[in-house]
Chains A and B, each alone.
Chain A
Amino acid sequence: MGVRLASLALLIAAWYAGSQLAGARLLPDPQAVALAIVDEARSGALALNLGATLARVAVAFILAMALGSVIGLIMGRSRIADQLGDPWLIVLLNLPALVIIVLAYVWAGLTETAAIAAVALNKLPIATVTVREGARSLDHALDDMAQVFRMGAWTRLRHVILPQLAPYLAAAARSGLSLVWKIVLIVELLGRPNGVGFEIGVAFQLFDVTRILAYALAFIAVMLAIETFLVQPLERHVARWRPKPA
């Protein structure tokens, strides 16, 4: 913990030194950025924009994870589904995020639906590939056991299959969350009237580096809180059965 804090202090010190060298216009010092965050928070703009961005992240993330898990599970369990879906997956995986976003806006207009669909579509193939890997490594011995004891479909899914997929789902969720929020910012920059991405776009046009850093830092803080208070406790709960070293 002490080392982490020291490292963080070093980062802030380097930032401060950099701002002295480059000048406040190119790189404002930490204090100026902190004041800007407070200002934005007072005016209510910070909460509004953070809220809009977070809502988009949440919806796109849930959509992509749910769809990706189902498709990945089916592709991992069935050869024919895998052969059918694999070319699509490769196309989607290699399609640049920007192309998907621009096409979504061109085809569906500058709407919320287009924005969220574009983000979800960017995340979907990665979630699918990760969960497919998990489904391929499912233990046949446990499958046989569940069949002999005539366990129902729901019991099998919940108690036999999902616990085996948990590490893969966690990996997909982790990498997915950071990817989704970055793409949401681009989507907002290109075609939404609010959100952190929109604000950064405006600040870019005004060459307002302080505001860019203020929004970036505020959003990193929110994501850090989600990781600490949501993702990590969930992971601990899922791994509670693993024997711990004494």
Chain B
Amino acid sequence: MSPAGARSRLDVKIKQKCFRAASGGKLQVLGELAFSLGSGQVAAVVGPSGCGKTTLLRIVAGLDLDFEGDVALPAHGRLGMVFQEPRLLPWRTVEQNVRLAAPQATDAGLDTLFQTLGLGAHRDHYPGELSLGLARRVALARAFAVEPDLLLLDEPFVSLDDALAARLREELAELVNRRPVTTLLVTHNLEEAVGLADRLLLLSVSPALILADVPVARPREAHTAAELETLRNEIARRLNQAFH
């Protein structure tokens, strides 16, 4: 029996989002955008650079309230977010950074999290002493430590080398598999999207609209090159359809 009041879905209904241009005019960044995410579902927002993906994420996170439309977060609305840069407090240690964001986290829970992400030896280090790859892991640990109802990832592995990005992607997939959480991932990397998401939302360039909603058959499992190629063709076909 599901209680009538408790929501578990993320509902996004944006009518439009504009920025004021320096010249005084209005610049429409997002058009009419509506989608829902069921509990535990992972969706990847894919689109070219500059199409408004980060703006969409900021609206969902409640950081940008200046838009027309409505966003309903899953019940409790506890958010975990990984920004494009790690955004750690440089004057607090790795462990303090995580605990400040997630004061309710248990010692055992943090132990497991740090171990999964290979941060066990770095708990007492300051962010300035970490490589970018490690700092991104801390940002991931922080987002998971709050046990979020909604996880927001804004190109979390951008500017890492391919091998490291792939390894972090695997670790992220493992975390999501272990504790399913409704996730909105923004990326322009198709491989990353297919590797993590159950669904791909393809965005057009400004004003951003959803061009297609593509399900992924076997998310978070190793896809062969051939499968990826098929998916890429499918996406290209849908994009063509949308434009013609």
Contacts and interface: CB of A to CB of B under 8 A. Distances in A.
12 contacts: A141-B87, A145-B87, A148-B61, A148-B63, A149-B79, A149-B80, A149-B81, A159-B92, A163-B91, A241-B90, A241-B91, A241-B126
B85 A149 contact: no
Nearest to B139: A145
Nearest to A158: B100
A243 B129 contact: yes
Interface of A: 141-142, 144-145, 147-151, 155, 159-160, 163, 241-243
B91 A141 contact: no
Interface string B65-94: 000000000000011110101010111100
A155 B128 contact: no
B215 to A, nearest CB: 29
Nearest to A155: B100
Interface in B27-67: 58, 61-63
Contact of A141 (B62, B79, B83, B142): B83
Q: Which of A142, A150, A241 has the most CB of B within 10 A?
A: A241
A144 B63 contact: yes
Contacts of A241: 90-92, 126, 128
Nearest to A164: B91
Nearest to B77: A150
Contacts of B228: none
Contact of A142 (B78, B81, B89, B102): B89
Nearest to A149: B101
A159 B100 contact: yes
A163 B101 CA distance: 16
A152 to B, nearest CB: 9
A243 to B, nearest CB: 4
B209 interface: no
